[in-house]
Amino acid sequence: MEKGMNRREFLKASAATGALFLAADFGDPVLPAYGAVNIPEAEKIAITIITDNYCETTRPSYKIAKRSGEYFYAEHGLSCHIETVVDGRSCSLLFDFGPSFPGLVKNIDLLKIDLEKLEALALSHGHKDHFGGLVELLKSRKEKIPKGIPLYVGEEAFAERGVGKRPDDVRVVHRPPKKEDVEGLGFGKIVEIKDPTPIVPGAYLTGRIEKVTDYEQVEGRWVKRGGNFERENFIGEQSVVLNLRGKGLVVLSGCAHVGIVNTVKHAQKITGIRKVHGIMGGFHLTGAKEERIRRTVADVKEMAPDYIIPMHCTGFETMAAFARELPNQFVLNTVGTKYIFTP
């Protein structure tokens, strides 16, 4: 590495960051102090949407959104390629892997994503619409994905999940691959995190997200813990936090089950950076009550982001509300769009 943070320095920074925080049980997490995370400023951030629910081949480029006219595969899920440029050096990662391998790999090929340059893989949470394409991608592209690449996950990423009215009446709807089977593919070690963690220079995962709003109630199904099913509280859900030079934070969520407002406020707290340049990703508001949508949009509006780019599980009603209330900031996402953030 000619410029910026080399790999050894980056790993030292990761270890130092982890030492700042304490592990905690499910009931009372110890959260980081204000401004505890120092994210290097990026002189460029590029986020390409590999998988999302919506595709429109004729939609033109708009502001920071560069469109492609290819016939992409749209499906209910999310996957993104993230590139940061810090001190002149480019780094890249994949965040989430969509619900299926065929859709994921078709879009990767159409977008000409260079898997050989990846330095990390990251998973927002263990639901199939974000996890489904991972294993087959690793198997099918083993000659391209670098050996030793880390896969960052939050807590309970590999837990079974189900639906039902009672814990003794749960129907399992998702059995993720076993952790040891994924590691057995020979790529790299799975890194389970609880705290804000750097994954490539200029990009952090949030760690456990503090819940501070009174209306963003977690509406989980069931997750298997220690042989028993308990209510899912998404303690391990991760979002990506980036810092654009002179412009502020760019926050990318997978589903934001704990609330997009909670997620952005958490990013502001851990970094000590108030200015928000972009908020994007799934906001988990499909079918939400009108009051929750209204309060979410009002709180996001108060944050005054330069761009708001809802995706995936946000829901039509919420997207329409954002388009109405923040018309100059709203960007409609389509599969294959590349968002380029520069100072």
- Please state, for a pLDDT cut of 90, what percent of the chain lies above it: 83
Averaged pLDDT for residues 149-167 = 94
Check whether 15 has a pLDDT greater than 70: no
Give dist(CA 37, CA 197) in Å, integer: 9
Among 27-31, 170-174, 183-187, 286-290, the range of highest mean pLDDT: 286-290
Over residues 261-310, the pLDDT tens digits come to: 999 999 999 999 999 999 999 999 999 999 999 999 999 999 999 999 99
The C-alpha angle 18, 21, 22, rounded to 5 degrees, equals: 115
Sequence ranges of the domains in the chain: 41-341
Averaged pLDDT for residues 218-225 = 86
Check whether 175 has a pLDDT greater than 90: no
Beta bridge partners of 322: none
Q: Concatenated DSSP letters for 105-142?
A: HHHHHHHT--GGGEEEEE-S-S-HHHHTTHHHHHHHTT
Contact 155, 235 (CB under 8 A): yes
Check whether 23 has a pLDDT greater than 50: no
Contact 270, 206 (CB under 8 A): yes
Beta bridge partners of 225: 228
Confidence of residue 188 (pLDDT cuts 50, 70, 90): confident
Check whether 50 has a pLDDT greater than 70: yes
pTM of the model: 0.91
CATH for 41-341, among 3.40.50.2300, 3.40.50.1220, 3.40.140.10, 3.60.15.10? 3.60.15.10
Average pLDDT in the chain: 91
Confidence of residue 26 (pLDDT cuts 50, 70, 90): very low
Check whether 25 has a pLDDT greater than 70: no
Check whether 7 has a pLDDT greater than 90: no
Contact 166, 126 (CB under 8 A): no
The C-alpha angle 108, 5, 152, rounded to 5 degrees, equals: 45
Confidence of residue 6 (pLDDT cuts 50, 70, 90): low
